[in-house]
Amino acid sequence: MSKQAADWKKILLGMPLVDGALQWMRSHTMPGFRGVRLYDVAQFLYQESQRNDLNTRASAMTYHFFLALFPSLISLFTLTAYLPRELDFYSALEQALQSILPPGAKDYVIHDLIAQLRPRAQSGLLSIGFVLAIYFGSEGILAMMRGFDKTYNSSFRKRNWLETRFTAFALTIALGGLLILSILSIIFGEKILRLMLDYLQWGGLVKLAIKSLNYLITLVLFYAVISLVYRFGPALYKPIRGLSPGALFATLASIGTSVLFGMFIQSYSTYHKVYGAISALIITLVWMRINTMILLLGFELNAAVAVNRDLMDANQIARRKQQAEDE
């Protein structure tokens, strides 16, 4: 740390407001933190931000996930050709994407990618697209799992090559299944809600509440996907079960940043004049880059809880042994 940075740190720590906040953090915890103090979590996150290169890991994940986007869409469209037309799968997919993508990325994925790939989705491409989607998707999961590696041997273990590949493959299949389940839930949920509203003739406020339930289900499924990643991605001896603070943070942060990013794109639309048609591709990459960074930050939060939890457990065991020896 430079002398100037050290001086600024000393000034900040000397402020009564900052000192009071630190004292409060030393004596308080949060739901899902397993008794770990807020101060210990913040200290861990600060130390890891100084030690690890989050940008490099996030960039690697973005690259592999973007490569997996094209074959995944081809496989998805080819597979949905066997679904009944009454389900209107493509409309539901566009509706789901519109709820999470910012405007520029929405234009690129929906109006460019889907519009061009949908006519090319043929039964002969199912096997090729599926294999490529699994390969590139698992490579993205592998890049993510490498980003989840830590050197805290008391909490993190080392996976062998076979276990790492199998975990990446299983996570890719599971996440793909959850994606399809999410889209189908939107399809059937929308149809069920329409039938209920038409049959029961409820008022406007009740209609709004029921429609909001559909967004809540999407939010829960989004949380479930991230929780699944944090449950099986990191090689923890004792994975975090139940409420995952990292998954909750990543879910809310991803939705929040997507909304803010979309507002920014709409307010400052000069990028279209500068980059032309490629601007939508750039926006999609930037949006994916932001979300991979959020995914890593959520993992760091879970890692802070897990490492400090294991340290607390080890200290408790040591104290019990010492008490037993004294007796």
pLDDT of 185 above 80? no
The pLDDT mean for the chain works out to 77
Instruction: Classify 201 in phi/psi space as left (phi over 0), alpha (psi -120 to 50) or beta.
Output: left
56: pLDDT strictly greater than 60: yes
Residue 306 pLDDT level (bands cut at 50, 70, 90)? very high
pLDDT above 80 (res 279): no
Q: How large is the average pLDDT for residues 201-206?
A: 63
What is the rounded CA–CA span in Å between residue 324 and residue 55?
48
Contact 71, 129 (CB under 8 A): yes
DSSP 52-85: S-HHHHHHHHHHHHHHHHHHHHHHHHHHHTTS-G
Residues 58/297, Cβ–Cβ less than 8 Å: no
Q: Is 5 exposed, middle or buried (0-12, 13-18, 19+ CB in 10 A)?
A: exposed
Check whether 3 has a pLDDT greater than 60: yes
Question: What confidence category does residue 107 fall into, taking pLDDT thresholds of 50, 70 and 90?
Answer: low
Question: Cα separation of 15 and 311, whole Å?
Answer: 31
**What's the pLDDT score for residue 288?**
87
Angle at 164 between CA 132 and CA 167, to 5 degrees: 70
**Residues ≥6 apart with Cβ < 8 Å to 222:** 100, 182, 251, 254, 255
**DSSP bridge pairs for 156:** 236
> 207 falls in which pLDDT band (50, 70, 90)?
low
Residue 133 has pLDDT above 60, yes or no: yes
How many Cβ atoms are within 10 Å of 260's Cβ, its own excluded?
Answer: 12
What pLDDT sits at residue 295?
Answer: 92
118 three-class SS? coil
Q: Is the pLDDT of residue 121 over 70?
A: no
CB 246 within 8 A of CB 298: yes
Q: Please say if the pLDDT value at position 246 is more than 90.
A: yes
Close Cβ partners of 99 (under 8 Å, ≥ 6 residues apart): 215, 218
On the question of pLDDT at 202 being above 80, the answer is no
**101-110, 178-187, 277-286, 287-296: which has the minimum mean pLDDT?**
101-110
pLDDT at 119 > cutoff 60:
no
Least confident of 5-9, 81-85, 170-174, 291-295: 81-85
Output the pLDDT for position 297.
Answer: 93
State the Rg of the chain over Cα: 23
Q: What average pLDDT does this structure show over 93-111? A: 63
Share of the chain above pLDDT 70, in %: 67
Q: Is the pLDDT of residue 40 over 70?
A: yes
Q: What is the pLDDT of residue 59?
A: 87
The SS3 of residue 156 is strand
Average pLDDT for 319-327: 75
Residue 323 has pLDDT above 70, yes or no: yes
Tokens 């990643």 found at: 229
**Structure tokens of 110?**
């929906």
